[in-house]
Structure formats: structure tokens, C-alpha cells
Amino acid sequence: MSPVIEDKDIVYDTNVYITENYFIENDILCKETLCAVMQDILGFSSIKEEEKILISKLFIEQKTIFETLMVPIMANIIFWKRYHILPANYNNLKIRDIVKITNGKVGYTKSEQEAIEILYKESGVEWRYYNKKNVNQIKIEIKKDKLEDKITRGKYFATFFILLSNSIRDDYENIGINKPNKRGRYLCDKDIFETIALRCRPPKSLKLFLKDTIMSYFNNLCANPTVE
């Protein structure tokens, strides 16, 4: 969350890669990845080009909505960090407790206020610390600088990607695409890095980083071999 919180632990060095957004999930889980997952895992092996366009549009729309839904959640987490409110283990928040996706449409399972209360409870933060004025100011700051995609936690976004993918498999008819074959399956949390990541295109910034560091190092070794 470095765009909104000063992080003294960040190391700015040519040999250190810093993700474009909050975490690597935010960078690799894109509409192209979703289409690849649909074909290879969910069972939509014969998906048509017009269906890919429909799904890509759906992903972009719902991603924007999800990031908007996460603004109140992330604003509270930023508030905790700025004012050193502990304990604040926001890793414990289960996105499935506050967000649902049906027919490819994302929304809160409850009200925004109830979602925030769940955040406090699952993160181990006493409700007495909640400060509506300060949180609202942070929400304004996020929206003003258009930081929604920069501060949404990768773990939360990964859950959104899985929920959306499984909704597409469940609700394909209402979404407007053909039925998947029997060989497909639903996604689970461990699939993010074990299965889905293998079908992702690396961000341009990561490719450039690898070129300027690891590839440059090996090219230099090849050009100047050590003679024993």
C-alpha cells in the first residue's frame, strides 16, 4: 500500500522487483488469464471468439465493481496502519464472508456496514477503534487519486478471480456462453499459484526486470567466461 502509506521496509534497488500493483496476483489475474483458465480448467474448451470478448468485458466490469466494494475495507486497513492500531491481522478476513458472485455479478453478501464489522471481527480489531470520519477521508483520498487497483490486496483479488471463474462455470447459461464439458472442474484457492499462474503472461515490468538483471548477468557470463 505504498501509494498511501509510507513503507520503510521497501527496498528500492535495481536487483529488487516491485510489483505494479499491491501484489503479483493483481498483475497476473487479468481477462486473458481468465479466458485461458476457462479453456484449460473450467471446461470451456470450444469457447468462441465472441464469447471471449463477452467474458473479457464481464471481467473488466466486475473487477472495477469489486475494487470499488473493497475501498471501504482497504480504507479501514490503511487507517489501522496509519494509526498503528493492533492487533490487525487482516489476513484472516474471508472475502467469501462479505462478497458473492452470482451470474457473473459481484456484490456484498450483506450491507457495507456489516462487511466492515466482519472485517474488524475477523481481523481481531476491537470495534471501538472504528473512526468513520478518518476512514471516510481515506476513501476520498483513494477515489481522488484513482488508487482502487493499486491498494486492493492480492489475496482478496485472488478470491474474486476464483469466485468469478466458478460463477461462469455455474451460471454460463445466464451469462450467455455455451455449456462447459464434463472434463472441466471448479477452482479452489490453491489453484492460484499451482495451476492458474502457469497460464498467465508476466507483466511487462517483470519481463524488463528479468532482462536487466538475471538475463544481463548470464549474458555477461557468456561474454566473459572465467578461465580456470
pLDDT digits (tens, 9 = 90+) for 212-226: 999 998 898 888 876
Q: Share the mean pLDDT of the chain.
A: 92
Confidence of residue 140 (pLDDT cuts 50, 70, 90): very high
CA atoms of 6 and 87, how far apart (whole Å)? 19
What is residue 192's predicted lDDT score, i.e. its pLDDT? 93
Which of 104-108, 113-117, 162-166, 198-202 has the weakest average pLDDT? 198-202
Task: Evaluate if residue 227 carries a pLDDT over 60.
Answer: no
In this structure, are strands 99-102 and 105-108 parallel, antiparallel, or unpaired?
antiparallel
Instruction: Give the CA angle between residues 89, 92, 93 to the nearest 5°.
Output: 110
Domain edges within the chain = 24-202
pLDDT digits (tens, 9 = 90+) for 37-46: 999 999 998 8
Backbone angles phi, psi at 115, to 5 degrees: -65, -40
CA dihedral sign, ordered 91, 94, 99, 101: positive
Q: How remote is the C-alpha of 183 from its chain's centroid?
A: 27
- Greatest extent of the chain over all pairs of C-alpha atoms, in Å: 70
Is residue 106 within a helix (H) or strand (E), and if so which, with residue range?
strand 105-108
**pTM for this entry:** 0.90
Using alpha carbons, list the distances in angstroms from residue 117 to 87, 90, 126.
Answer: 15, 13, 10
Task: Evaluate if residue 4 carries a pLDDT over 70.
Answer: yes
